[in-house]
């Protein structure tokens, strides 16, 4: 089958497009999926580089333990492993598994869900990682509800675009931090206020704006942590999903002494994917698609992701191996 593979950590030159990769077979509790599409996440870049090195505990200490890149997936079930009861051949599903930049991939049956009816199978590939991250940040960690004031820093990207919509669906008033070129986009997603970081001192604007906030979801780490905390309401919470090692360490240390600081750790499950799908089918959430790349152009997709100018999500269209 066709796939994007890497056998050692490094730069994008380590990636290769292959047409002779063996088709995977599902093990017990797994389904095999003919991949319609996948989507690009920052985690894909981390898997290529192996940095931060702490991530190698999950992906392989010396080399990638799963050589095929990709995490998000949407496609059609073409085989089921022993003990699988939730799914049958022909079911259209979306979810999360390593190795989705390929024509076929295997996934645990409890990490996929039925495709939402209101989006195409291709669009469903944009939902899992970013959508679940936003859902758990807003619903589970920040516990956003009617009347909550929420700020999303990094609002126009994958997680941010979902976070705005989910917060609005939960009844919150949302302030979005993004560049001016994305102001119309985040407003269309439900942001009541927009802070243009290209024209404003964001820290000052946060303090002078609709603060205090009941929740701040930080996806980029451009405002000093202390100033974010100072802009919280009495019971407000700062939720960090910033991927830089230094920021992770600072936020982790703060979280040890303050319940107002939380590092976001997500869990993908069928139940969470179904909750996200319900929001999509209710019309409360829609994936924002920026660009589409063919499988052979995954390195270009990752280069574009590294510019951090993606509006919503970029897709990798595949058209998987059936039969």
CATH number of the domain residue 119 falls in: 3.90.180.10
The CATH number that applies at residue 205 is: 3.40.50.720
Q: Is residue 303 part of a domain?
A: yes
Domain count, the chain: 2
119 and 140 belong to one structural domain: no
Nearest alpha-carbon partner for 32 in 274, 273, 322, 317: 322
**199-229: per-residue pLDDT in tens?**
988 898 887 766 699 999 999 999 999 999 9
**229-248: per-residue pLDDT in tens?**
999 999 999 999 998 888 88
313 and 240 belong to one structural domain: no
DSSP strand pairing (173-178 vs 193-196):
parallel
How many Å apart are CA 19 and CA 303, to the nearest integer?
22
Neighbours of 244 (CB within 10 A): 11
Q: Is residue 24 part of a domain?
A: yes
Domain with 34 in it: 3-126+288-317
155 and 197 belong to one structural domain: yes
211 and 199 belong to one structural domain: yes
Task: Tell whether the torsion through CA atoms of 124, 130, 136 and 137 is positive or negative.
Answer: negative
143 and 257 belong to one structural domain: yes
Q: Is residue 274 part of a domain?
A: no
Q: Is residue 121 part of a domain?
A: yes
Please state the pTM of the whole predicted model. Answer: 0.95
Q: Is residue 283 part of a domain?
A: no
Kindly compute the dihedral angle of the four CA atoms of residues 140, 142, 144, 149, in this order, to the nearest 10 degrees.
-170
Helix (H) or strand (E) holding 203: helix 202-208
33 and 115 belong to one structural domain: yes
Sheet harboring 193-196: ordered strands across? 193-196, 173-178, 149-153, 213-218, 232-240, 261-263
246 and 313 belong to one structural domain: no
Q: pLDDT 10s per residue in the chain (323 long)?
A: 999 999 999 999 999 999 999 999 999 999 999 999 999 999 999 899 988 777 787 788 888 999 999 999 999 999 999 999 999 999 999 999 999 999 999 999 999 999 999 999 999 999 999 999 999 999 999 999 999 999 999 999 999 999 999 999 999 999 999 999 999 999 999 999 999 999 988 898 887 766 699 999 999 999 999 999 999 999 999 999 998 888 888 999 999 988 899 999 999 999 999 999 999 999 999 999 999 999 999 999 999 999 988 999 999 999 865 54
111 and 178 belong to one structural domain: no
112 and 154 belong to one structural domain: no
Token pair 């820093």 is found at 153
CB 122 within 8 A of CB 133: no
The SS3 assignment for 72 reads strand
16 and 105 belong to one structural domain: yes
């Amino acid at each position: 089958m066709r796939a994007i593979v890497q056998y050692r950590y490094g730069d994008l030159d380590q990636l290769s497009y292959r047409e002779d990769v063996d088709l995977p077979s599902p093990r017990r509790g797994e389904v095999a999926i003919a991949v319609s599409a996948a989507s690009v996440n920052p985690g894909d870049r981390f898997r290529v580089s192996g940095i931060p090195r702490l991530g190698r505990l999950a992906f392989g200490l010396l080399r990638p333990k799963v050589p095929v890149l990709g995490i998000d997936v949407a496609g059609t079930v073409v085989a089921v492993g022993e003990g699988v009861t939730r799914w049958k051949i022909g079911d259209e599903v979306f979810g999360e598994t390593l190795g989705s930049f390929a024509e076929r991939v295997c996934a645990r049956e409890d990490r996929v869900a039925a495709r939402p009816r209101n989006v195409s199978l291709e669009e469903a590939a944009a939902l899992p990682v970013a959508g679940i991250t936003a859902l758990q940040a807003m619903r589970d960690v920040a516990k956003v509800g009617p009347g909550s004031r929420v700020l999303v820093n990094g609002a126009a990207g994958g997680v941010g675009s979902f976070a705005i919509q989910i917060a609005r669906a939960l009844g919150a008033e949302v302030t979005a931090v993004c560049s001016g070129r994305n102001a119309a986009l985040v407003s269309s997603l439900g942001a009541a206020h927009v802070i243009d970081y290209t024209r404003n001192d964001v820290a000052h604007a946060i303090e002078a704006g609709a603060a205090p906030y009941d929740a701040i979801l930080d996806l980029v780490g451009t405002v000093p942590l202390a100033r974010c905390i100072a802009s919280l309401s009495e019971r407000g919470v700062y939720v960090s999903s910033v991927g830089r090692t230094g920021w992770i360490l600072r936020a982790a240390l703060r979280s040890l002494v303050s319940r107002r600081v939380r590092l976001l750790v997500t869990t993908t499950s069928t139940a969470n994917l179904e909750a996200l799908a319900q929001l999509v089918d209710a019309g409360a959430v829609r994936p924002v698609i920026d660009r589409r790349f063919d499988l052979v152009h995954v390195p270009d997709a990752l280069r574009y992701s590294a510019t951090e100018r993606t509006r919503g999500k970029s897709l990798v269209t595949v058209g998987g191996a059936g039969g």
